[in-house]
A and B are shown apart, each in its own frame.
Chain A
Amino acid sequence: KNQVEQSPQSLIILEGKNCTLQCNYTVSPFSNLRWYKQDTGRGPVSLTIMTFSENTKSNGRYTATLDADTKQSSLHITASQLSDSASYICVASIGGGADGLTFGKGTHLIIQP
């Protein structure tokens, strides 16, 4: 069964600090892995998308890594800002049809001043 597990479930850090969110996936065949940021009550916004041949991808203060051998990904946030408070969702795709996305439950991140 295709699964995506994220940790931690929730995280509170002080503004300016760095943090790393984890994602473990078991989907087959693997096509790509995405990280989305979702503000409360809003739609997810894409941060990064990586195929199996990519190890790292950055988007501003967000850097995602992917280890296709261990089926793990991480999202590192540098110099956090209050606006980073959101849920971060990891999504793995099997590359087939549109129903081939498996969503993680997300990490709820709170940045405190």
Chain B
Amino acid sequence: DTEVTQTPKHLVMGMTNKKSLKCEQHMGHRAMYWYKQKAKKPPELMFVYSYEKLSINESVPSRFSPECPNSSLLNLHLHALQPEDSALYLCASSQGVEGSNEQFFGPGTRLTVL
């Protein structure tokens, strides 16, 4: 299996809702990432997990809460989001966190916050 999968594909939520994005890979990768991408912009790194531990948090607001239950799964819990948080959320994985490792991206979750 050489895929990164993400669910749901689309999500619409109100500012008071709590929702979660899910990401899964079965390539044996030990690093997993969350990116946020606005329209016509490059992806922006949010979080990096290495061996199931949070290694990088790019000063992301606390309304985004990542979780790595095991080496294959990565969640992003959302609470009290703002309309400006609407974006494509991408998950990626790689063998390790070193920059020489190729990152494999999932198809993304299109999030709309009303």
Contacts and interface: CB of A to CB of B under 8 A. Distances in A.
Interface size class on chain B is 20 to 34
Given A98-B45, A99-B45, A42 B99 contact: no
A94 B99 contact: yes
Contacts of B94: 98
Contact of B108 (A41, A101, A106): A41
A44 B99 contact: no
Interface of A: 31-32, 34, 36, 41-46, 49, 51, 89, 93-101, 103-106, 108
Given A98-B48, A99-B45, A101-B45, A93 B99 contact: yes
Given A43-B90, A104-B42, A98 B107 contact: no
Interface in B42-87: 42-43, 45, 48, 50, 55-56, 58
Contacts of B108: 41-43
A42 B88 CA distance: 8
A94 B100 CA distance: 8
The 9 A-B pairs at the shortest CB distance, nearest first, are namely: A103-B42, A43-B105, A100-B99, A93-B99, A95-B99, A98-B97, A98-B48, A44-B105, A43-B108
Nearest to B41: A105
A49 B99 contact: no
Interface of B: 4, 6, 31, 33, 40-43, 45, 48, 50, 55-56, 58, 88, 90-92, 94, 97-100, 102-108, 110
A46 B102 contact: yes
A44 B108 CA distance: 9
Contacts of B33: 98
